């Protein structure tokens, strides 16, 4: 019986959300595995094993419980943000010779950074919003930004996986405070032109027969955009399947599967789009999408006529046997 550690927690603002996601996965885990949570914090890594907590030895990624040495055979990294969604734990596990069920270090790091990911995809003629990249608050003047992108714009931390630090800017007076707000959450930021359309998202994963796209979800937010409140505090309506034509549905799913393949992703990923004039523009690629009971991907799975347990069973059958 293989032992699987589900890594959760992390250093970002979504620590508790990550634990909720990982707990949902553990509750619906495939049969035939010995699985438990590994909660990652800056202070220590803690295994939650058989209703007890044990400190992980980072040299061997192991702990001792009831006189038995417990070591993981594979890891499922389900940390939203640093140091999981950006590939750091995956790289650490790879150096230790421990396989990951989900996307590897390079794929995770590339998809995590909103700017570099979109520029990579743009090179393959996948539509993305026009944008500017800032490494410091004074990289561009306010006038330069307005001239290049107009208003409104979105200001986002580029190298942060959370929904914090994002602003929709409608007036010139709001731009500088939004930039400063974003830099509090990340070291670099991206400013994107506003895409006025229908927001949808598509879950994608590998099965024995190839890359598979789940039913598409349409997102309508009570707020100006799909921010933290909309995502986690019930301030949005998520409609599955999305109210789009079959032609657009096919185009979104085809593009999502192509992105999944180009980025060399593994396990489940969720790719967000804005449909403008029947063209799906990529907004963001999520390699550890929310997986609490109220999250979008579980809704997609239910709409697809599947169970969460069977969904993860399909993933484990593929990802433990493929590179």
Global pTM value: 0.92
State whether the Cα torsion 96-70-290-264 is positive or negative: positive
Of the candidates 226, 323, 284, 251, the residue with the CA atom closest to the CA atom of residue 85:
284
The half-sphere exposure of 321 on its side-chain side, counting CA atoms within 13 A, is: 9
pLDDT tens-place values along the chain, 323 residues long = 899 999 999 998 889 999 999 999 999 999 999 999 999 999 999 999 999 999 999 999 999 999 999 999 999 999 998 999 999 999 999 999 999 999 999 999 999 999 999 999 999 999 999 999 999 988 999 999 999 999 999 999 998 755 678 999 999 999 999 999 999 888 999 999 999 999 999 999 999 999 999 999 999 977 565 555 545 555 679 999 999 999 999 999 999 999 999 999 999 999 999 999 999 999 999 999 999 988 999 999 999 999 999 999 999 999 998 75
The CA distances from residue 166 to 169, 179, 244, 269, in Å, are: 10, 9, 27, 21
Per-residue tokens: 225: 């955009």
In a domain, 165, yes or no: yes
Q: What is the pLDDT of residues 31-43, one digit of tens each?
A: 999 999 999 999 9
Q: What is the pLDDT of residues 153-170, one digit of tens each?
A: 999 999 875 567 899 999
Would you say 240 and 216 are in contact if contact means Cβ atoms under 8 Å apart? yes
In a domain, 107, yes or no: no
Same structural domain, 214 and 167: no
Q: What is the pLDDT of residues 182-196, one digit of tens each?
A: 998 889 999 999 999
What confidence score (pLDDT) does residue 230 get? 47
Count the domains in the chain. Answer: 3
Same structural domain, 152 and 227: no
Cβ atoms within 10 Å, residue 303: 14
List the beta bridge partners of residue 207.
Answer: 210
Cα 301 from chain centroid (whole Å)? 17
Maximum CA extent, the chain = 66
Same structural domain, 160 and 274: no
In a domain, 312, yes or no: yes
Same structural domain, 154 and 204: no
What's 254's domain CATH number?
A: 3.30.470.20
What's 97's domain CATH number?
A: 3.40.50.20
Q: How far apart are CA 264 and CA 166, in angstroms?
A: 27
In a domain, 108, yes or no: no
What confidence score (pLDDT) does residue 71 get? 96
Q: How many helices (H) and strands (E) does the chain have?
A: 10, 18
Same structural domain, 296 and 203: yes
Q: How far apart are CA 267 and CA 278, in angstroms?
A: 28
In a domain, 121, yes or no: no
Domain endpoint, select from 142, 160, 193: 193
3-state secondary structure of 284: strand
Same structural domain, 31 and 66: yes
Q: What is the DSSP letter of 218?
A: E
Domain interval for residue 159: 131-193
Same structural domain, 164 and 211: no
């Amino acid at each position: 019986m293989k032992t699987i550690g589900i890594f959760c927690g992390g250093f970002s603002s979504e620590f508790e959300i990550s634990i909720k996601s990982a707990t949902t996965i553990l509750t619906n885990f495939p049969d035939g595995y010995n699985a438990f949570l590994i909660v990652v914090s800056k202070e220590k890594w803690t295994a939650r094993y058989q209703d007890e907590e044990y400190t992980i030895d980072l040299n061997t990624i192991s702990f001792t419980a009831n006189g038995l040495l417990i070591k993981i055979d594979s890891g499922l990294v389900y940390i939203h943000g640093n140091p999981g969604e950006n590939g750091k734990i995956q790289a650490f596990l790879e150096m230790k010779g421990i396989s990951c069920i989900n996307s590897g270090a390079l794929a995770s790091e590339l998809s995590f950074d909103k700017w570099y990911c979109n520029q990579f995809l743009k090179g393959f003629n996948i539509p993305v919003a026009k944008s500017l990249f800032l490494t410091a608050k004074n990289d561009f003047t306010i006038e330069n930004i307005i001239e290049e992108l107009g208003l409104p714009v979105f200001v986002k931390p580029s190298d942060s996986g959370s929904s914090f630090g994002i602003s929709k800017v409608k007036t010139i007076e709001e731009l500088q405070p939004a930039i400063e707000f974003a830099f509090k959450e990340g070291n670099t930021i991206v400013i994107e032109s506003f895409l006025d359309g229908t927001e949808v998202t598509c879950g994608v994963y590998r099965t024995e027969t190839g890359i598979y796209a789940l039913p598409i979800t349409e997102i309508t937010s009570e707020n100006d955009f799909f921010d933290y409140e909309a995502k986690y505090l019930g301030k949005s309506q998520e409609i599955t399947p999305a109210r789009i034509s079959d032609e657009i549905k096919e185009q979104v799913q085809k593009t999502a599967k192509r992105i999944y393949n180009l980025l060399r992703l593994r396990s489940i990923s969720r790719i967000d789009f804005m449909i403008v004039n029947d063209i799906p523009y990529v907004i963001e690629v999520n390699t550890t999408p929310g997986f609490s009971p109220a999250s979008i991907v579980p809704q997609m799975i239910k709409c697809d006529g599947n169970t969460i347990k069977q969904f993860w069973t399909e993933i484990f059958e593929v990802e433990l046997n493929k590179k």
